[in-house]
Chains A and B, each alone.
Chain A
Amino acid sequence: MRSVYPVLVVIAGIVAVWYAAAIWMNTTWTLQQAERAETQLSVAQVVAGSFGQERPRLPMPDQVVAELWETTVERKVTSKRSLIFHAGITLSATLAGFAIGAGLGILLAVGIVHSRVMDMSVMPWAIASQTIPILAIAPMIIVVLNSVGVQGLLPKAVISAYLSFFPVVVGMVKGLRSPDAMQLDLLKTYSANRAQGFWKLRLPASLPYLFASLKIGVAASLVGAIVAELPTGAVRGLGARMLTGSYYGQTIQIWSALFMAAIVAAFLVGLIGVLQRASLARMGMVR
């Protein structure tokens, strides 16, 4: 309880600032309406006019929550207006990309740890590849894959994979190297070979690092999937909701898509957290 209370206060503060900002930003429209109608408005009327606008500059939190409720609970899941439908599409691309990226990342890390050449030649490029804004390549990857004939889930998954593989590589390399010299020497005295050393010492020792980097990776792959939906002018998915929202000035739609993305991200990171706790507890590695 002691740790929850300050968080709640901060969140309440953010909501309060949001309302104040929304009132301030939305008055322009109310005042313009009043000017057109040639009526004078009292301060209370101006403030009241900021609430419940159709296309506010900054929607009120309650409007966003209402929109979220309407598009998730009150609509059928199969409907094109259901946010769950769009979130599901983004989620499937995210998960596919995350699986590819994490798998590749782990393989690459194993290679880097076991081969000096790979360590020296691949690692600098892997690091350099992250200073490139990968998302900038997203439109090109999608258009190129489209012209080769690959469509649908896979192009988005490729971008997700690209974003999620690096944190996994770095974390996994760190983890596979975390056994200290004493432990490695012990395995030598057991005359364990490299494979045994890998399966019985390095891999188990790397798990805490792996889970920490999987959390970062899954958040990154959600970002990848959302951005991947932008350039094709996709009609489905959370990114597409944001794009159409920005075309038609449907601010409430953008914000609710944004919140849905946040909920999905929290869900994914939380899921990995649960897996982490369960498996580390099984292994007796909980701090």
Chain B
Amino acid sequence: MKFFASGGSIFANKKELPFSSPTRETWIVVGGGICLGVAGILLTLPGLGTAVSIVLLVGVWATLWWQNARLANWQPKARWQVALRDVSVPFVFGVTLLLLWELAVLKFEISPVILPPPSAIATRLFAAHNMLWQDFVQTFIKGALTGYTMGVAAAFAVALVADRSDFLRRGLLPVGNFMAALPIIGTAPILVMWFGFDWHSKAAVVVVMVFFPVLVNTVEGLRASAPMQRDLMQTYGAGYGQTLWKLRVPAAMPFVFTGLKIATTLALIGAIVAEFFGSPIKGMGFRISTEVGRLALDMVWAEIVVAALAGSAFYGAIALLERVVTFWHPSQRARG
């Protein structure tokens, strides 16, 4: 963002031009319509040559990209228009990709065993929603969420203990940093052996995966308060507990949330991959590995869509919580 801010000051006049007049905005709509029209013709025409298809596909891509470029350079005055632009640019990009995917699969007759079209995935998503929900509950709610909660709680507890002793902290931080970089996912077969095939072993894998990043960030965060602030607490006659709850824990929150956000992705990965080592006949990882074996790739993709939505929602929820809890932090205030 910095680059554009500084560039913007120099090219300010140039940037304000494009969409001040309504005709340009109409152009965007008309252009988009033409694109979709071309795409529609492409879809309906059966016997097109490969070369023509490629040219048309590139044409669709180029037009949509060009539209998106214009949209991205739109500098509106009103706030809601800025928000609209910031949402619609990545949205148009995503829709473009999906459209090209669908058209390419149709035109080149790619076997659904290799790459199913988005429409087939969407159909499967609705048709098999019961099974998908059951897998979601098994893997995400029982495996990932339980493990996440337990792992985070354990990391907090150890961080608080380690924080009381400087010696322990200096010993734990390098070890924790080292462990966080290791392929901890490798413990999955061992934990599956110990805790059985059901969700307990998946939760255990998630606990181990989540533990170290949260521990390292929390220990780091608990040191984040300035000596001046701690001295102030001392002049107030605050004890250890009061200093902890009123100063050091709040000051640690930006660090803690960095760890929590990293841990959300790890939790879902851990729960899914642990199922590759053995699971009851439900769960997202189980479904993915068995459906791949049956070459039912539309089901696999549907499962991936669910995983992606769950992962994004989980991450988003933590990020939202971060905004609420650390509203005072510069990185949160700057956006406005």
What residues of chain A have their CB less than 8 Å away from a CB belonging to chain B? Answer: 3, 6-11, 14, 57, 113, 116-117, 120-125, 128, 130-137, 139-140, 143-144, 147-148, 177, 180-181, 184-185, 188, 215-216, 219, 222-223, 226-227, 230-231, 238-239, 242-243, 245-246, 249, 251, 254-255, 257-258, 261-262, 265-266, 269
Contacts and interface: CB of A to CB of B under 8 A. Distances in A.
A231 B289 CA distance: 7
A147 B194 CA distance: 36
A130 B171 CA distance: 31
Q: Can you list the 7 inter-chain pairs with the closest CB atoms, starting with the nearest? A: A6-B171, A246-B189, A10-B171, A121-B93, A131-B311, A124-B90, A132-B308
18 contacts: A113-B3, A117-B65, A121-B92, A133-B272, A135-B269, A136-B272, A136-B288, A180-B2, A181-B5, A184-B3, A216-B181, A219-B183, A230-B277, A238-B186, A245-B189, A254-B190, A261-B182, A261-B183
A262 B187 CA distance: 11
B6 A185 contact: yes
B312 A128 contact: yes
Contact of B4 (A116, A239, A266): A116
B57 interface: no
A257 B186 contact: yes
Given A6-B169, A140-B288, A242-B186, 5 more contacts: A3-B170, A133-B307, A177-B2, A226-B186, A230-B273
A268 to B, nearest CB: 9
A231 B276 contact: yes
A234 to B, nearest CB: 13
B138 interface: no
Given A116-B72, A121-B93, A10 B273 contact: no
Contacts of B69: 117
Nearest to A174: B2
Contacts of A180: 2
B291 to A, nearest CB: 9
Contact of A11 (B94, B175, B293): B175
A38 B204 CA distance: 36
Nearest to A141: B292
B314 A121 contact: no
B5 to A, nearest CB: 8
Nearest to A163: B269
Given A6-B171, A122-B93, A258-B186, A139 B292 contact: yes
A246 B273 contact: no
Contacts of B265: 130-131, 133
Given A116-B73, A246-B277, A226 B185 contact: yes
Interface string B249-282: 0000000000000001100110011001110000
A7 B297 CA distance: 48
Given A121-B68, A135-B273, A177-B1, A144 B115 contact: yes
Contacts of B288: 136, 139-140
A231 B292 contact: yes
A14 B172 CA distance: 11
A18 to B, nearest CB: 13
A147 B113 contact: yes
Contact of B269 (A136, A181, A243): A136
A49 to B, nearest CB: 19
B285 interface: yes
B89 A230 contact: no
A120 to B, nearest CB: 4
A122 B169 CA distance: 40
